[in-house]
Amino acid sequence: MAQESFALKIERLITLAIEFITFFRRSMAAMLFHVPPRKQFVHHAVDAGVGSVVLVILLIVFAGMGLSVQGYAAFIRFGGHDLLGTFVGIGGIRELYPVMSGIIVGARVGANLAASLANMQISEQVEALEVMGLDPMRYLVAPRMWAVTLMVPLLCGFAIVIGLGASWATAVYQLGLNSGTFMDQVAALTTWTDLAAGLLKGLVFGWLVAVIACFHGFRASKRDGAEGVGVATNRAIVHASVVCIVANMLLSALLYT
């Protein structure tokens, strides 16, 4: 019985992998070789970008403040608190703010993408497009993928600015550090290469979130019913967040070793 259960799990994983590869091939073909409908692209871009700004500000401000407090508590032990600007600049630009931006978008936008596509599958709207001779990948998936892929790097750059500002304010007004020293440390050891690496991570995270969310939403079926929407949404959030963290580790290894 246990062997059958294990074999069934392996079979399901193989089936899932085959479905993902097929979806990935079709979605990338639609994304790269066709111009997405402008109206849908703008709608999803505004939702992914502008719709996430408030959440990004709220979370990144507290993350930047926490980064300064934790860094100061560590450096003060050996009198190196003047190095806080370096720690905040490198740690925030390279790692913290890009990852948080990816996870925020994965949780908010990824859930919306998966839920909307799953609802369309269950209500047979996707089949209706196919009957009309329209490619669902081009009209449904490609605009969403382009919108999220392009918006996340912009959100990432915005998060970097907000996070550094929050860290600076905490360091100067709460911890009593010199503003000029803090900014000199940030500018001395963080370069445009670090900023480019952070934005590159945002681009990759946005693309991964879009692919994963659209895949889970698109594979829902009518027999799943309303429960299928919730399952697709949950899987999109979990898988997108995990993949972003793993991708961040791999990108960091490639860029900084």
| Rounded distance between C-alpha atoms, residue 219 and residue 1, angstroms | 29
**Contact 213/234 with Cβ under 8 angstroms?**
no
Structure tokens at 197: 């690496």
Q: Which stretches within the chain are classed as H helix?
A: 2-33, 38-49, 53-75, 84-91, 97-122, 125-131, 136, 142-169, 179-189, 192-218, 225-256
| Rounded distance between C-alpha atoms, residue 245 and residue 255, angstroms | 15
Structure tokens at 204: 């990759």
| Rounded distance between C-alpha atoms, residue 206 and residue 200, angstroms | 10
Report how far Cα 214 is from the mean position of its chain's Cα atoms: 13
Would you state the pLDDT for residue 9?
Answer: 75
Residue among 112, 231, 238 nearest 246 (CA): 238
pLDDT at 80 over 60: yes
**End-to-end Cα distance, the chain:** 47
Structure tokens at 208: 């991964």
Output DSSP code: residue 82: G
| Rounded distance between C-alpha atoms, residue 123 and residue 120, angstroms | 5
Structure tokens at 224: 């799943």
Contact partners, residue 220, CB within 8 Å, separation at least 6: 117, 118, 121, 122, 228, 229, 231, 232
pLDDT at 1 over 50: no
**Contact 141/30 with Cβ under 8 angstroms?**
yes
pLDDT tens digits along 35-71: 888 888 999 999 888 888 999 999 999 999 999 998 8
Give me the helix-helix angle, 97-122 and 225-256, nearest 10°. 150
| Rounded distance between C-alpha atoms, residue 167 and residue 219, angstroms | 42
More confident residue, 128 or 162: 162
Which residue has 């940030």 as its token pair?
186
pLDDT at 15 over 50: yes
pLDDT tens digits along 129-156: 878 877 888 888 999 999 999 999 999 9
